[in-house]
Structure 1
Amino acid sequence: MREETLSMLRSHSNRSRAKLSSMMNLPIEHAAQGSEIIDTQGQTYLDCGGFGVFILGHRHPEVVESVVQQLNILPMSSRTLVNNTLAIASKKLADFCPETLDYTFFTNSGTESTELALKLARANGCNKVVAITGSYHGKTLGALSVTHRSAFRAPFEPLFDEVTFVARDDMTALSACFENDSDRVAVIIEPVQGEGGVYALSSEFVQLAKALCVAHDGLLIADEIQSGLARTGFDWAIEAHQVTPDMMLVGKGLSGGVVPCAALVATAATFEPLNKDFMLHSSTFGGSPIALAAAITTLDILKRDNIANKARTIGLKLVAALSPHATKAGVRVRGSGVLIGLDAQNPARAGQLTLALLQHKVITSHSLSNANTVRLTPSALLTEVQINQIITACIAAFSSLPAKDLP
């Protein structure tokens, strides 16, 4: 079955992806429940991958039930008649967000939300955008224009003009972007860079970005696609900085890991161009009732079960347990809640660490904008047994790495 599957993938899906899967001898996933994935050979893996999607694990029973119910009633919308599920989901997400973020537009993916944010910035007169080195916001043309990694950008250049990248936490460089008062500027940040290797921005930098936007009639866009929805130990990572953005991008865990769903939320003032003319932006499948049913239930669970606190507790435990062993192996551990980076210092060691953890039945995520860092993005509903399984697997994987001193 495996060779037949790889052959079909090579011929009809993606040749390079199939080649990598073959080289890594990756198994075929078959089923999932909670924090575990079972392959076609019956082997069970602890899922610490998924790029941040599975904050509630796989197939949370309440989320699945809400999707099944919606599937049996109205899975897709006519896009003409009034949709009550959209109304409920919009209010529920607004209520879960920081105050003043009152308007929601649902999309299918994070990169779609980024595209809409850039359009809204333009519609509000911000023709210049400041992005951060190490950033990742998606791979469509607009999102790619504010994504920093050159390997992703180069094949498609020239991208959007008037995008300036400043180094993470470089206050002087950020301030310099606002020196020309005739320019209105939008700043897009990830409070915690996920694909960039799990780097948290400093509060001073985030607060300065907000202050500059207020002083110069600019807009602050917070990309919480990966860091939001309880993953970093806060409902939203930007809460740690006591700042409210003008727009926030939401995705990954929004539908509980069951149906694709993402969103943009914005202040009334920022959203006004769409409020004046709803035809300025649309999506055939974005905000489908089946996805919104999952989102509604997910938001209820996140609030009811205080998932942010669970994520914070697990993260502190993992970082404390792993750090001493990681340091001995020349690995840095960075973490915010259940978004944890294992910095192996170079891509080769990161690859070895990934394979070693897989051998110990732990699935990880690589970092798209930082090949040195392997990420652990598990569910916030891990059991004590599963937490200990991660710790044991990581310690064993660290010990298998060739020696390298931390600089």
Structure 2
Amino acid sequence: METSTTTQTLEKEYGAINSYIKKVLSLIEKEHVSKEEAEWITKETVDNFREHVNPGFLEYRKSVTKDTQFASVEWSDSGSCFKDVHGKEYIDCLGGFGIYNVGHRNPKVVKAVTDQLKRQALHSQDLLDPLRAMLAKILAEITPGDLKYSFFVNSGTESVEAALKLAKMYNERNTFIATTRAFHGKSLGSLSATAKGVFRKPFLPLIPGFRHVPFGDIDMMRKTMESCALVGEDVGAVIIEPIQGEGGVMVPPEGYLKQVRALCDEFGALLIFDEVQTGMGRTGKMFCAEVYNVVPDILCLAKAFGGGIMPAGACVASEKVFKSWFPNPFMHTTTFGGNPLACAAAIATINVLIEENLPQRAQEVGEYFINGLREVAAQHQDKVLEIRGKGLLIGVEFHSDEIGYEVSKGLFDRGVLVAGTLINSKTFRIEPPLTISYDEVDQVIATFKTTLETLKV
């Protein structure tokens, strides 16, 4: 009797929630929603973030937006822009922290994924899947130097995890060097390389063997390698972002990355480039390694790798490194990494980057963008400290967090989204799609000017 009552209760709850599900699905079908529907969507989104996702997100949004803007709910996107559920358009200079290199919903990428979806969505996990093989060949051809073999993943932190495990298996060393202000992800292995204390402290102790040296300080890196060798803890790999993204768009000193490469060779360590944010044309070349003419032993990719359509990433390595996984390809695996939809998206993304020459375009538009921002900043030196970057990875640094917060808020209120953060808004990033038009760049620069002129701090 008790079991029957419980079953009836569960069925009743399923019935209620299924009605809710049907309403949500009906909204997904719609190209446009009414004012009343938009208001319902907004209320449901805010309430459900508070009750079922994480109320901290609402507090974060309130801290970086004005008035009721915290409740802005994104609904559609295309090109370099997205719209909220009420139809207000924003120029996307956050770009999902570097996801939308080929634009929002690039038609070629959408078509490739849709075509693949019509035939097969996921693979059997046992037979050979063709798109994974073809994408691996493409990467071997376009990545620098002798990088040849690829392991496919779903995200940046997974790419870094794969790189760390690959390095450990290659030379059986347990010591890694990362840099201060680095960000490599938040799973336990990648978090051990990440340098931000606020993310690390709650999870200490992390994976042992990681040491951090100041980014750009080659002398300290040499001393650390020497010390590790003297005590029998030889460095297995150095993991580094060619340009630090989360750290504030920190561009390396002249010759630094080549010196790191030379140090790794001298001490028998591998060099891992985390290009999750700098890769796929973002900094003016297909890969930032090419900007500095340095070939790593392992290259980590993600974010824009899936074309802003599918979660996708890759860990690419030379044969001498990757062959440690040859005897047992199941030493490191992932269920969804390299799935047909993700591979189709990545292949189409690379096609767009090549055919539309987007890396070169990123360099040219980036120079124009940076120069325009600097002209504005020159009139507000009491507020703006520096504009820096490569290609369309741009950092705007202010004299204080407070100024950065207010500028981020002002830009958002005027229809421009930038990468301001709750943790540190002294510097925000500008990472628009590489397809952003000059007119849109001019609009962002003009909005930046207006925001600074009306700023009250």
- Give the TM-score normalised by structure 1: 0.96
Percent identity between the two aligned chains: 35
Shift in CA distance, 370/267, structure 1 to aligned 2, threshold 3 Å: farther
Residue 276 of structure 1, CA deviation = 2.1
- Residue 412 of structure 2 corresponds to 358
Say if 1:233 and 1:308, in contact at 8 Å, map to a contact too: yes
**What runs of 5+ residues in structure 1 fail to find an aligned partner?**
none
Please give the secondary structure, in 2, of the residue aligned with 1:365: coil
AA of the residue aligned to 1:239:
E
Residues 2-401 of structure 1: matches in 2 within 5 Å? 2-22=42-62, 24=65, 25-26=69-70, 27-49=72-94, 50-124=96-170, 125-179=172-226, 180=229, 182=232, 183-329=234-380, 330-331=383-384, 332-366=386-420, 370-401=424-455
In 1, the alpha carbon distance for the partners of 2:452 and 2:302 equals 32
CA distance in structure 1 between the aligned counterparts of 2:238 and 2:133, rounded to whole angstroms: 29
Counterpart residue identity of residue 265, structure 2 = V
SS in 1 for 2:330: helix
How far does the alpha carbon of each residue in 1:115-141 deviate from its partner, in whole angstroms, 9 at most, with x for none?
Answer: 111111111223111111110000111
RMSD: 1.5
1:22 offset after TM fit, Å? 4.7
Query: Could you list the per-position Cα deviations for residues 76-98 of structure 1 after superposition, in whole angstroms to 9, with x for gaps in the alignment?
Result: 01011111111111111221111
* Contact 1:148-1:369 at 8 Å conserved across structures: no
Distance 2:422 2:324 in 1: 33
**Aligned equivalents of 2:379, 2:456: Cα separation in 1:** 11
* TM-fit CA distance, 1:239: 1.3
Distance of aligned partners of 1:59 and 1:385 in 2 relative to their CA distance in 1, 3 Å threshold: same
Deviation at 1:328, TM superposition (A): 3.1
The answer to whether the 8 Å contact 1:254/1:295 transfers is yes
**Structure (1/2) with the larger helix percentage:** 2
Alignment partner, residue 17 of structure 2: none
Preserved CA contact (<8 Å) 1:233 1:338: yes
Structure with max Cα Rg: 2
> Unmatched 5+ residue regions in structure 2?
1-39
Could you give the per-residue CA deviations for residues 17-65 of structure 1, whole angstroms, max 9, x where no partner exists?
A: 1233355323111100111111111111111111000111110000000
Q: Matched residues in 2 for 1:166 and 1:22: separation?
A: 35
Cα deviation, residue 300, structure 1: 1.1
Distance 1:18 1:327 in 2: 35
Instruction: Give the number of aligned pairs.
Output: 403
